[in-house]
Amino acid sequence: MSRLRVLLEAFRGRVTLKEYPFKTLSAPEGFRGLPRVDADECIGCGACTLICPSHALRLVEEDGVLVLKHFVNRCIFCAMCADVCPQQAIVVTKDYELAALEQSELEASIAHVMAECRECSRRFASEKTLEKVKEILGDQPYLYLCPDCRRKFFIAALTMGRR
């Protein structure tokens, strides 16, 4: 039946050529295009950078600022980052027309203010991440300490009075 329809269309002389580059065509349902990170929602926890198979999303520290970098060149559009994001800050769009002649056109970044350790004043995580942890767990004694100081203080608290 479908073959007959194809034959009929061929006899009718209908043009099947898509006028694509000059007219926009939307992607089909369920298509995974460019994942966009909402800068206001993102807390800089780095969950997306851990799951990203091609390390297209990276969290790097630059001059005391935590920067989430999206290197779209390498992105394979698997949308796993959108699945693991605790804030649902990553939205998978249907954008696919991403061709670029300049490398800089394919890079996006989000900067986060970093929190300082209260003991050694080392910068260790974004302030928004600590706010989120505080929101979930309430006030924690070791929350504003860097991992090294936290370990030191915890061991000191454990061994107190046992010497």
Partner 1 sequence: MLGRLRKSLWVYHLNTGGCNGCDIEILAALSPFYDPERLGVKLVESPRHADAFVMTGPVTHQCLPRVIQAFRAGRPPIIIAVGACACGGGIWHDSSAVLGGVEPLMRTLLELGVYKRKPVVLRIPGCPPRPHAILHGIALALGAVTRRSTVRSVEEEAEKPARQRI
> Whole-angstrom Cα distance, residue 14 to residue 6?
10
List the x/- string, 39-58, binding to partner 1 by CB under 8 A: x-------------xxx---
4 binds partner 1 (CB under 8 A): no
| 55 contact partners, CB below 8 Å, separation of at least 6 | 49, 71, 74
Choice between 50 and 155, CB closer to partner 1: 50
Order of strands, edge to edge, in the sheet holding 57-62? 57-62, 65-71, 107-116, 123-126
Sign of CA dihedral 140, 44, 57, 41: positive
How many residues touch partner 1 under the rule CB under 8 A: the total is 40
List the x/- string, 64-103, binding to partner 1 by CB under 8 A: -x----xxxxxxxxx----------------xxxxxxx-x
Choice between 55 and 134, CB closer to partner 1: 55
Residue among 20, 135, 158, 160 that touches partner 1 (CB under 8 A): 20
Choice between 1 and 99, CB closer to partner 1: 99
Minimum Å gap between C-beta 48 and partner 1 is 15
Residue 5: burial class (beta carbons within 10 Å; 0-12, 13-18, 19+): exposed
Tokens of 96: 């696919």
Q: How far is CA 70 from CA 12, 13, 102, 105, in A?
A: 49, 47, 15, 11
Minimum Å gap between C-beta 142 and partner 1 is 26
What residue ranges bind partner 1 (CB under 8 A)?
A: 16-18, 20-22, 24-25, 27, 34, 36, 39, 53-55, 65, 70-78, 95-101, 103, 105-108, 110-111, 113
